[in-house]
Amino acid sequence: MKRVIQRGMKPLALALAAGAAIASVAATAHADAKPIKIGIVTFMSGAAAGPFGVPAKNAAEVTAAELNAGKVPAPYATKGFGGAPIELVYIDEAGSTSKQVSEYRNLLNQGVDYVVGYTSSGNCLAIAPVAEEMKKVTLFFDCGTPRVFEDASFKYVFRPVATATMDNVGAARYVAERKPDLQTYAGINQNYAWGQDAWADFEGTLKALKPNAKAVSSQMPQLGAGQYNAGISSLLAAHPDVLHSSFWGGDLEGLVVQAGPRDLFKKSLTVLTAGETATHGKTRLPDGVIIGARGMYGMFAPDNALNRWLRTAYSAKFNDTPSYPSYKMNQSILALKAAYEKAQAANGGKQPAPEQVIASFEHLAFDAPAGKIGLTLGKGHQAAQGTAFGVVKNVNGKVTVTDVKQYSIAEVTPPEGVKSAEWIKGGLKH
């Protein structure tokens, strides 16, 4: 009997030993997998660092660390990118556009596999053709201009977050619904592409939605001007029913501080399309101001496992809640992981070539804390998202939002192949 058992046990022991050996080799293979090096470009100095660059960098750091530790919920539970650990290389986005082009080339010389970066629309427009020339998969994580994929086509460039069209169309829809008797509106936006495009989209949408309403003032102060009292006087004198601003960072905080005592926000229904970043500092947005977060981010994000994970992991590491630039950076890295692992699976589990990652990235649908995201625009390179707006209500010194209204992709984004400006001018039809 004993011999029978021993004889029967022998193949089993061999099988177990072989299994253990394979497992050990596999584990070693994973442990020894070449790291995936990602270049992260964001503002680490200058006025945009505090509201944008630092929260984005923090998000990159926490996302990479959690992915490497395998702590991110499904469908991102595998370690790193398909088992290969992620390594981040940071570059400061501060400085001229020409400097960014040089820095981009330097980044590639450091052997990065992918680049995720850029808040400035000007930098995105300049980097896209360089990325194409250098054949490096590059993801834009924050810049808003829709022109990147509306005016050109790129193979290596992706933007897994939405454009700024969504912000201003959503803002116009919200104020039109909230103030049905809207007769006059005005704006205060920074005098560069971002502010000018934001005002044009907002004004164009209101022209379509409220043809009888008219613009009574459009203030265009210099980026970083700091002093807005003359503009505030002009806006107060114009008595607009609705006031629109795409101000961000120090400009937004300065406007809030200077307009508050003069009751500008009480006299006009005010919508701040990038207002969410101002809820993270000490600036107090007054009750009644409408804010957006450039997508379903921050206080507008849905209650799902990925959102809960991001908020918990970010807060644990940085003792703060993630703002919308953090969400957008996180969303971009998760998109890259989804595309990479899809390509890896199609490649029989082996490390995919950049072309294979591109093939799996185009028209990708992936999960993010903001929900399901699809790259349905720009020939599959540009994400389309819905957005939300709400009204600020300060509760025990904490900013909350009430009357949140969500807008679907079709309500705030043009269909594929149609330019944002033309879509708005044509009456926002699908």
Q: In terms of CB distance, is 227 or 394 closer to another protein?
A: 227
Token pair 């400006």 in the structure block, residue: 421
The CB-of-284 to another protein minimum distance in angstroms stands at 8
What is the H or E stretch that residue 235 is in? helix 229-238
Distance (Å) of CA 120 to CA 25, 127, 178, 362? 45, 11, 31, 23
Give min distance, CB of 225 to another protein, in A.
7
**In whole angstroms, how close is the CB of 260 to another protein at the nearest point?**
7
Q: Which is nearer to another protein, 225 or 359 (CB)?
A: 225
In the complex, minimum distance from the CB of residue 319 to another protein, in angstroms, rounded to a whole number: 12
Write out the DSSP string of 290-351: EEE-SSS-GGGS---HHHHHHHHHHHHHHSS---HHHHHHHHHHHHHHHHHHHHHHHTTTSP
Distance of CA 164 to the CA centre of its chain: 10
Residue 46 or 354 having the CB closest to another protein: 46
User: Of all helices (H) and strands (E), which one includes residue 249?
Assistant: helix 249-259
Selection from 369, 375, 345 nearest residue 357 by Cα: 345
Question: Strand ranges (DSSP E) for 191-268?
Answer: 214-219, 242-245
Q: Look at residues 245, 182, 172, 178 and name the one whose alpha carbon lies nearest to residue 202.
A: 172
**Residue 281 Cβ vs another protein, minimum distance, rounded to whole Å:** 6
The tokens of 269 are what? 């229904």
Nearer to another protein by C-beta: 193 or 236?
236
Q: Which residues bind another protein (CB under 8 A)?
A: 44-47, 49-51, 53-54, 191, 217-222, 224-227, 229-231, 233-234, 236-237, 249-250, 253-254, 257-258, 260-263, 281-283
| 283 vs 304 by CB, closer to another protein | 283
Residue nearer to another protein on the CB measure, 45 or 312: 45
Shortest reach from residue 47's CB to another protein, in Å: 4
